[in-house]
Amino acid sequence: MKTKEMNKMQEITSLDFQKKNKPKIEDVIPHYLDNKAAKAAIDFASYLQTNKTQLKWASENRWKAVYAKSTFCWVWLYQNGWQVSPCLSTINDYEDFIINEGWQDFILERLNPCHTCNPTRSCINGRNINILKKNLNNACVQHICGGIYLKYEYGVYPQYVNPDKMAIERIEKLLALEKQARDEYSRKL
């Protein structure tokens, strides 16, 4: 890699630069991912932005997708990797679809047990929950997925690392269902 390119990468990937400039995810992705993964991540970011979702820089190599003033999804970048974490605050409204499609494991296998990740914040700690017809003990029910849509006392937050094409298609469908459920809930407020 040429020195000029290395300097640009070091600059745009540094926390100080990102805090000051709040870069678009599309500008940072090429510095972390190879061509195939970069295309998938850029396409996913584009999907979010074309579906009435604002994708905003949140912290070092993390972008938050906001829909109707509430957190909708997170996207992280790592060296040679990325992660998508949809905030499924109204999952109970569309769990029949998930079960009928056989997607339970796609979600359940990507939920984490609570490990008190940030005790200084108002984390609600792990909960025993019934989701997708399964009982989970000490499940992480991220407070960041709440907002006005947290009508079921918890939101689930599956984490997809380096999602493949099928995973991205499923995540996009889940986000469409989440958006529809949130819109229906908002009309009732």
pTM, 2 dp: 0.85
Please tell me the distance from the alpha carbon of residue 69 to that of residue 119, in angstroms, as a whole number.
Answer: 25
**Which residues in the chain belong to E strands, given as ranges?**
54-59, 62-67, 70-78, 81-86, 127-131, 134-139, 160-161
Residue type, 143: H
Task: Supply the pLDDT for residue 123.
Answer: 59
Measured in degrees and rounded to the nearest 5, phi and psi for residue 39 equal: -60, -45
Task: Supply the pLDDT for residue 129.
Answer: 77
Mean pLDDT of 115-131: 66
Task: Supply the pLDDT for residue 156.
Answer: 76
Task: Supply the pLDDT for residue 107.
Answer: 92
Report residue 84 as tokens: 């998508």
pLDDT tens digit sequence for 61-111: 999 998 887 888 999 999 899 999 998 888 889 999 999 999 999 998 888
DSSP assigned state of 156: B
DSSP assigned state of 30: G
3-class SS at 174?
Answer: helix
DSSP assigned state of 34: -
pLDDT tens digit sequence for 145-162: 544 444 455 567 788 999
| DSSP element (H, E) containing 4 | helix 3-12
pLDDT tens digit sequence for 8-64: 566 777 888 888 999 999 999 998 999 999 999 999 999 999 988 889 999 999 999
Task: Supply the pLDDT for residue 7.
Answer: 57
Measured in degrees and rounded to the nearest 5, phi and psi for residue 108 equal: -60, -35
